[in-house]
Amino acid sequence: MDIAASPSPATLTASEARRQIRAGGLTPLALTQACLARIAGRDRAVRAWITVNPAVEAQAAAVVAEDPRPLAGIPVGIKDMIETAELPTTHNSPLYGTNRPANDAPCVEILKAAGALVLGKLDTSEFAAGGRHAATVNPHDLTRIPGGSSSGSAAAVADGHVPLALGTQTGGSTIRPAAYCGVTALKPSWGLISTEGVKRYAVSFDTVGLFARAVEDLQLLADVFNLPEAPAAAPGRLRLGLCRTPYFDRAEPETVAMFDQLEGLLAPVADLVPFEAPEGFGEADELHRCVMHCEGAAAFLNLVRTRGTLLHDDFHDRVELRNGYTQRQHYEAYDRLALMRIALEKRMAGVDAVLAPSAPGYAPQYVEGVRPRENPLFNACWTAMQVPVLNLPVMGPGDHLPLGVSVIGPRAEDRRVLAIGARLAGLLDRRGAAG
């Protein structure tokens, strides 16, 4: 589904919409109504939304063009395991079907303070961890998955329902669905956006993710969330490290072919050089899984003890550590990952940023209605490093499905990653080019 062909305001980027609102060519109400119309026309098929805010039109009508706030009048979608006071937060779980939090999560409060309008809640895997899958499908091909766990967030932005959305990432739950759905997304450096009011899974990795249609929009959100300033890349040509990762033998043919083409695609602005990950990086995925499951044992213990009969077996497995990990291994994994982060950032000093695959390949298809298992292999290693990761869609004018490239930098250099991504985005996403 190519939303660029649609003249509806719902398909604008947030930055374009904000400029039109300020110029008087678009009202927040007209933008909101266009988004609601798109949802009404498409969401029966895409199934991105759990709840739509019944008061959002009245809220939009109250925003004036002169409002100086950076997101004034811009609709946003919120993953439904992030607390919202005006809408239920169900976690896609039978345990929380009527849950009404008393307060917004801080990340939602910050968006509202910037003038954003909460359009509604977006579908997710249960507790963004396992159990029930989101009902959402991929808007490019309804027979394919959108990626999880931020399924609704990626699909809603991709299909023109909303210009911005919040998701989360503990393994690959922002970057992988962004790649499968062909949208721009940032997994910020760990700890820069508060996860208070967001269902915890593994506190060493849990990160609020940002979905948008353009890097410019993510730069706007970087201002809203007060992400730290970072040194700019040196002027002139970029020097980018190409990291196929130790897992590249698991990449699908389309990703292998795309990586072979990157040097030519990016030749106008960048020189690509091989980037070797630190020694032992092939273990990062397993170390990540150990920490994630062991921290998950604490995160879901209360549900096992109090409402275990309604809780999916996935969460019993985590609490009982049926995966074979021990809590002692959990602490040993902390230490090994800490040393690996130091080694990685020393190697990053030789390049402006690192490029790596965002997913194994195209979004997988459902098989006889059954959702295939997803592989976070190309994401979890970077999540374990706690570094910022930007997904850039890779799609030509004749392509049916998107791929994704991750742009990665050192911790707290999210803005530098975004600035580099802004220089690369138009060379990789060529959907608007003449075919």
In the chain, the amino acid numbered 164 is L
Q: Establish whether 189 is a catalytic residue.
A: no
pLDDT score of 2: 58
HSE-up of 186 (CA within 13 Å, CB side)? 34
Which residue in this structure is represented by tokens 């990160």?
Answer: 207
With a CB cutoff of 8 Å and minimum separation 6, the contacts of 369 are none
In the chain, the amino acid numbered 417 is V
Model confidence at 295: pLDDT above 50:
yes
Model confidence at 3: pLDDT above 80:
no
In the chain, the amino acid numbered 256 is V
Helix axis angle, 28-46 to 14-23, nearest 10°: 150
Q: Output the CA angle 122-290-253, nearest 5 degrees.
A: 65
| DSSP state letter for 207 | E
Give the pair of three-digit tokens for residue 426: 């138009």
CA gap 47, 161 in Å, rounded: 11
Model confidence at 5: pLDDT above 90:
no
* Whether the Cβ atoms of residue 402 and residue 395 lie closer than 8 Å to each other: yes
CA-based nearest residue to 104, from 115, 113, 95: 113
Distance of CA 75 to the CA centre of its chain: 17
pLDDT tens-digit series, residues 347-370: 999 999 999 999 999 999 999 888
CA gap 176, 406 in Å, rounded: 10
Least confident of 99-108, 119-128, 231-240: 231-240
Q: How many residues belong to the chain?
A: 435
* Whether the Cβ atoms of residue 389 and residue 278 lie closer than 8 Å to each other: no
Least confident of 22-31, 261-270, 315-324: 315-324
Q: Establish whether 93 is a catalytic residue.
A: no
Other C-beta atoms closer than 10 Å to the C-beta of 54 total 10
β-bridge pairing 117-122 and 75-79 = parallel
Q: Give the mean pLDDT of 392-405.
A: 95
Q: Give the mean pLDDT of 328-340.
A: 98
Q: Output the CA angle 8-10-14, nearest 5 degrees.
A: 125
pLDDT score of 398: 86
| DSSP state letter for 282 | G
* Whether the Cβ atoms of residue 139 and residue 1 lie closer than 8 Å to each other: yes
Of 15, 79, 187, 358, the catalytic one is: 79
Of 125, 150, 153, 173, the catalytic one is: 173
Dihedral, CA of residue 75, residue 51, residue 10 and residue 61, to nearest 10: -50
Model confidence at 434: pLDDT above 60:
no
CA gap 96, 42 in Å, rounded: 26
Give the pair of three-digit tokens for residue 103: 């307060």
CA gap 124, 104 in Å, rounded: 18
Q: How confident is the model at residue 435 (pLDDT cuts 50, 70, 90)?
A: very low
CA-based nearest residue to 165, from 119, 219, 206, 207: 119
Measured over the CA atoms of residue 188, residue 403, residue 428 and residue 71, the dihedral's sign is: negative
Give the pair of three-digit tokens for residue 116: 């954003």
| DSSP state letter for 311 | S
Q: How confident is the model at residue 323 (pLDDT cuts 50, 70, 90)?
A: confident
The pTM (predicted TM-score) of the whole model is 0.97
Q: Establish whether 79 is a catalytic residue.
A: yes
Least confident of 102-106, 123-127, 366-370, 418-422: 366-370
Strand (E) or helix (H) holding 191: none
Give the pair of three-digit tokens for residue 222: 């970087």
CA gap 166, 178 in Å, rounded: 12
Distance of CA 70 to the CA centre of its chain: 21
CA gap 272, 370 in Å, rounded: 40
Q: Give the mean pLDDT of 386-414.
A: 97
Of 93, 125, 149, 406, the catalytic one is: 149
